[in-house]
Amino acid sequence: MASEIRSLAWHDTGLRLLDQTALPQRVVYLDITEVDALIDAIRRLAVRGAPALGAAGAYGVAVAMRQGGREGWDAARLAAEIGRIRDARPTAVNLAGGVDRVLPFAAEGVEAVLAEADAVVREDVEANHAIGRHGADWILSRVGRRPLRVLTHCNTGSLATAGWGTALGIVRELHARGVLEVVYVDETRPLLQGSRLTAWELAQEGIAHLVQPDGAAASTILRGLVDVAVIGADRIAANGDTANKIGSVGVALACADAGIPFVVAAPLTTFDDATAHGDEITIEERPESEVLEVAGVRVAPVESRAFNPAFDVTPARLISVIVNEAGVREY
Ligand SMILES: CSC[C@H]1O[C@H](OP(=O)(O)O)[C@H](O)[C@@H]1O
């Protein structure tokens, strides 16, 4: 079952990652024993999703400590290498949070860091199941139609977390309760986390879904084909403004115009109260080639350049509710 799939796990030799760039065609694992390889995997989105990045950051400290022990790094070099992991992608607060969570245990040795990283994983899975329950309860109390038609954006399932998922965890909970009719899965260009990863997770579990172009999301909503949209988050500012995969704010605008709920699902590790509001959030800009090429084949003219922001920020005024493991916060 995809709900049990693990995006990452520690093995004696190092951190084993399910390479998400190969899915859904191939199930390939990467055994990470060096900092450069982990940073490359993070930047290529071989491991991705805010909570999964938090776990990767936590285990990444152990990877750096093991490599530093093999190569004789001094304390300054080790700190610098850990800092490179922490900074590998800027928008998801979880990556830095995962590193910061285990750092205090480094003085006790790698085993202590690994034990804390294991706790990060356990807590994330527990949080996601709670998010699923709270989110399903809230949706069922606010939306009358049965069964429900849900729209998702990007991938927020087992692959984006330590297991079960956030927004997709709510979808799984609705499915388990027998109240889910269909999931409209935004393909989520340019890296297709929806059509490649969310569709793969849903197909594994026989959950009915329709992959749609991102450009169809607004009209699908405005035509009354969707009852609720549920998305994940990469960083939630103190005022509720939410950074998430590019295209999220368009879904929110359509939901507002259609009068249907726009639900954000995220664990408390994605909340960043040190950031007052959304315009302070750094938006990762990714390589132009991701937009100008499809499957490595150039589709745009050679003269063309591209703008490739990986995230956008949905203002709190467009969010109906943010669901975390402690409950819900309505806006
Ligand atoms: C459960 S959080 C997943 C979150 O992360 C994704 O970004 P990326 O695929 O670039 O790591 C996207 O924003 C999802 O909503």
pLDDT in tens, 253-280: 999 999 999 999 999 999 999 999 999 9
Instruction: Identify residue 64 by its one-letter amino acid code.
Output: A
Q: Total domain count for the chain?
A: 2
Q: Relative to the CA of 191, which ligand 1 atom is closest?
A: 9
Per-residue pLDDT tens over the stretch 68-113: 999 999 999 999 999 999 999 999 999 999 999 999 999 999 999 9
Between CA 152 and CA 168 the distance in angstroms is: 8
The residue contributing the CA closest to ligand 1 atom 15 is 232
Q: Does 111 lie in the same domain as 149?
A: no
**Ligand 1 pocket member 275 (CB < 6 A):** no
Residues 113 and 146 in one domain: no
210 pairs with which residues across the strands? 184
Q: Phi/psi of residue 105, each to 5°?
A: -95, -5
What average pLDDT score do residues 177-198 get?
98
Domain with residue 102: its CATH number is 1.20.120.420
Q: Domain check: are 151 and 270 in the same one?
A: yes
Two tokens, residue 1 = 């079952």
C-alpha–C-alpha distance, residues 200 and 88, integer Å: 26
**Unique residue bearing structure tokens 């490649």:** 196
ipTM above 0.95 for this complex: yes
Quote the pTM value. Answer: 0.97
Q: Is 89 annotated as a binding residue?
A: yes
Please state, as a whole number, how many other Cβ atoms lie within 10 Å of the Cβ of residue 56.
31
Are 105 and 208 members of one domain?
A: no
Q: Which residues contact 46 (CB under 8 A, 6 or more apart)?
A: 17, 19, 20, 21, 30, 40
Token representation of residue 226: 């969707």
Q: Are residues 29 and 174 in the same domain?
A: no
If you take atom 4 of ligand 1, which residue's CA is the nearest one? 49
